[in-house]
Structure 1
Amino acid sequence: MANLRTAMDSQFWDQPISSSQTLEGCAYSIPGDPFPLEVTRASKALRVQQLSVLGNGFPLGTIPSFSPTSTKDLGSFSLQSLFLKLATSNSWLGLIGQFRPKKLISSIKGEFTNADEFEWPAFKDVAKHVFDKSIYSLGLFSQISLSSSSVLLSTERHGDKRRPRYKMMLWHELPDHDITLEAAWPGLFLDQKGKYWDVPESISLDMSSLPSESGFQYRFGVHKNSGHPQPVNTLNGEVPCALMPGLCAKAAFSYEKRKDFWRQKEKVDDTAVKTDRGKVRHPSFDMRLSEPHAAISGIIGMLLHCIG
């Protein structure tokens, strides 16, 4: 059912997807395009939170990552680490660093291969390659949580890129509704062919209803793109129409119905394990697996949009 919902949503809205192209770890699908098969929906856990947990299982907290680049000498392999983490009851601040070793190793190898003997000028050239900014990336991320709102601010700079990335997100909770304001300079999108695109300015404002027992949901939104989209990991290509400059307002309505043919309700004894200290409850790691069932589901929806 989750895959069916994702396929439906991708026809109407840009969906957050996991991506290693940015330190934030997130890009967006293109509205109206089929959802890319090789990607997954972005985790609700932010990249800083993921690195904070994963770093405990790697030496020195350094986590390997794989992200192809348009510059071949940089390579696709990189190492990421969480350098700084400051957290309070309602806010946190994190600094992420990334290092691409391929170019550095190749450059040092070339210096000593071309040198006749180990001389001081050769070591000076090695130091020059170590401080080459194109192999480093830094990202600063912060979040402030208020009573019913959360603000996420982030900026990251890749040494091989001309301009930094900035992003701002605001979540606000209303009774049975969520309001999201998001702005990115530039916004990163992924088309169905696996090509990434940078939109110089992408701003969106959405209000969506929360899932209800009746199955009826709706969403309203306004999306504005400015500037000509630029390819990220390819030299050329046809720009998707949905990324062209302009203002677009959308309203979507959907009705979801699910019918169980058979369902076995979970009982207390199903998750209880006898130990020396008595019975200990071990719930299922996935709620969808806690109750075996057979069901049929369906979603029907409608989209209204105005492009200006």
Structure 2
Amino acid sequence: MARLRTAIDSSFWDLNIASPQTLDGWAKAIPEDPIPLDSSISSRLLRPQQFTFFKNHLPIPIIPSFSPTSNQNLGSFSLQSLLLRVISTRWWLGLTGQFRPRKLITDIKNDICNAEEFDLSTVKDVGKHFIDKSLFSLGLTTQFALTPSTSMLFSIEGHGEKERRRHKVMAYHKLPEHDLTLEAAWPQLFVDHKGKYWDVPESISLDLASVISDSGLRYHFGLHENRGNPQAVNAIDGKPPLSLLPGLCAKAAFTYEKIKHFWRDEEAAKEAEQDREPDPDKVLPYDSRLSVPHAAISGIMGGSCSSWIWKGNSFFGNDSREDLEVSIRSKRSRLSADLFGSVCYTFQRGKFTEDFGDLTRVDARLDISSASAFANKVLNSFKSSAADISEQPSASPRFNLIFQQQVAGPVVFRADSRISLESFIRRNGIPIEDFICSLSYSFKGLESGKVVAWYSPKRKEGMVELRLFEF
């Protein structure tokens, strides 16, 4: 099934969206935004772990990525690699690096073309460009296993074109049927549904989430604090999202998930549930999660309750924005409750075992991120202004369509698109709100592991990731 769990995960501040803007490879989703596209969810593997796999199992020690920068001379294209990795039984350290070649090539070309004669001074001028710090970025990540169920992670990264470094501290603790996570970052990078990035000077989250149960019930409790005015990274103007303004918020959410199969290949389903034993006569699928032909409808519905315990003042913002922040903050309810849900129809043909024409899959999903906001829109007969829509981005239901088609062997093309139903009604044609296309290469030896190269035309970003047991 498609990621129905994203409905509850996107209600909190700990959902990672894949992004090449940081060396960690992700930015945080913003609560109260529309539910993100499935393919935009970041890999659960840390970036140094992904680079290690690329270096050891694939002939690609250097990974390309695309991400716009505030300095257009640097260009969007960059090369990333794992520079150093140290491993022990309970500890590891990884040093990642990034290089943007466009500015270097342009500067060298200009020096050579403008030089009257190629002499020693020209060589010195060219050599200076190789030590331009704006071309390089470095990230250091280390993780300690304190106990078999507890670990700590520390990371710091610096970008040559920016003065401020990014710091992050995370603590994981595995409880029976639950995951406990503590995360602090300064600053923390968030991305909204329009593709705009926001930096929050200080962000701290404490989350307790239940794992998936056979009953379909899941719940999540969180405590989150923002400090400092959010700063737009790639936008000149615009109001910051309410969820990112300074304050302390306690939130709880629960969901119930159910699936109904219209038909499915029972033999393939039984084989998928069995352990993968080495059998030379048995043809294994490229991905065990795409090995069962079926047609089904699934749904998830839930509720959330949040309380802004403290609507704090900005500690780091400029006085010129104070009146704006206070006026926006006053619209944020101190206590609120809401309902949300998704319904998805899935059709899959093929077992993904043959080299050609053995996988075609379509997932069509309708998301309602906020039942209360949607009800207000219905009562107002969809006459809200564009300003109202921007202030309540989750008011309109979204229709998500995921199409997957085998190209050849383990290579699969995938396209994810999202449409706002309100925009569809108001305009002629089909206004696509978001779109991500990707190519993936699955590895039989990993059971359900693949290298994914994706590109987002809306954000003008793209990167390569390793994803394990993820849709």
**TM-score, length-normalised on structure 2?**
0.60
Moved more, 122-131 or 215-224: 122-131
What residue number does 1:255 align with?
256
Shift of residue 174, structure 1, vs aligned partner: 0.8
SS at match of 1:205: strand
- Counterpart AA for 1:181: L
When residues 102 and 304 of structure 1 are mapped into structure 2, their CA distance, relative to the original with a 3 A threshold, is: same
Is the Cα contact below 8 Å between 1:258 and 1:295 reproduced in 2?
Answer: yes
Is the Cα contact below 8 Å between 1:12 and 1:252 reproduced in 2?
Answer: no
Shift of residue 39, structure 1, vs aligned partner: 5.6
Q: Could you say what the CA RMSD is over the residues aligned between the two structures, in angstroms?
A: 2.3
- Counterpart AA for 1:40: S
- Counterpart AA for 2:74: L
| 1:62-101 deviation per Cα after TM superposition (whole angstroms, max 9, x unaligned) | 2222111111000011111111111123321111111111
When residues 197 and 81 of structure 1 are mapped into structure 2, their CA distance, relative to the original with a 3 A threshold, is: same
What residue number does 1:216 align with?
217
Quick check: 1:15 aligned with 2:15?
yes
Question: Following the alignment from structure 2 to structure 1, what is the Cα–Cα distance between the partners of residues 302 and 191?
Answer: 24
Shift of residue 111, structure 1, vs aligned partner: 1.4
What residue number does 2:364 align with?
none
- Counterpart AA for 1:25: G
What residue number does 1:27 align with?
27
Shift of residue 268, structure 1, vs aligned partner: 10
When residues 37 and 214 of structure 1 are mapped into structure 2, their CA distance, relative to the original with a 3 A threshold, is: closer
Quick check: 1:178 aligned with 2:163?
no
**TM-score, length-normalised on structure 1?**
0.91
| 1:189-248 deviation per Cα after TM superposition (whole angstroms, max 9, x unaligned) | 001110111111110000011111111111111010111111222333221111111111
Shift of residue 4, structure 1, vs aligned partner: 3.4
- Counterpart AA for 2:259: R
Shift of residue 296, structure 1, vs aligned partner: 2.1
What residue number does 2:81 align with?
81
When residues 177 and 270 of structure 1 are mapped into structure 2, their CA distance, relative to the original with a 3 A threshold, is: closer
What residue number does 2:51 align with?
51
What residue number does 1:6 align with?
6
Question: Following the alignment from structure 1 to structure 2, what is the Cα–Cα distance between the partners of residues 82 and 4?
Answer: 33
Mark the runs of 5 or more structure 2 residues left unpaired by the alignment: 273-277, 311-471
Quick check: 1:153 aligned with 2:145?
no
Question: Following the alignment from structure 2 to structure 1, what is the Cα–Cα distance between the partners of residues 267 and 154?
Answer: 42
Shift of residue 294, structure 1, vs aligned partner: 2.6
Equivalences for residues 83-122 of structure 1 within 5 A: 83-122=83-122
Question: Following the alignment from structure 2 to structure 1, what is the Cα–Cα distance between the partners of residues 300 and 77?
Answer: 41
- Highest relative contact order (Cα 8 Å, sep 6+), 1 or 2? 2
| 1:40-81 deviation per Cα after TM superposition (whole angstroms, max 9, x unaligned) | 11111111111112235346x222221111110000111111
Question: Following the alignment from structure 1 to structure 2, what is the Cα–Cα distance between the partners of residues 159 and 6?
Answer: 34
Mark the runs of 5 or more structure 1 residues left unpaired by the alignment: 272-276
Shift of residue 36, structure 1, vs aligned partner: 4.4
Quick check: 1:264 aligned with 2:235?
no
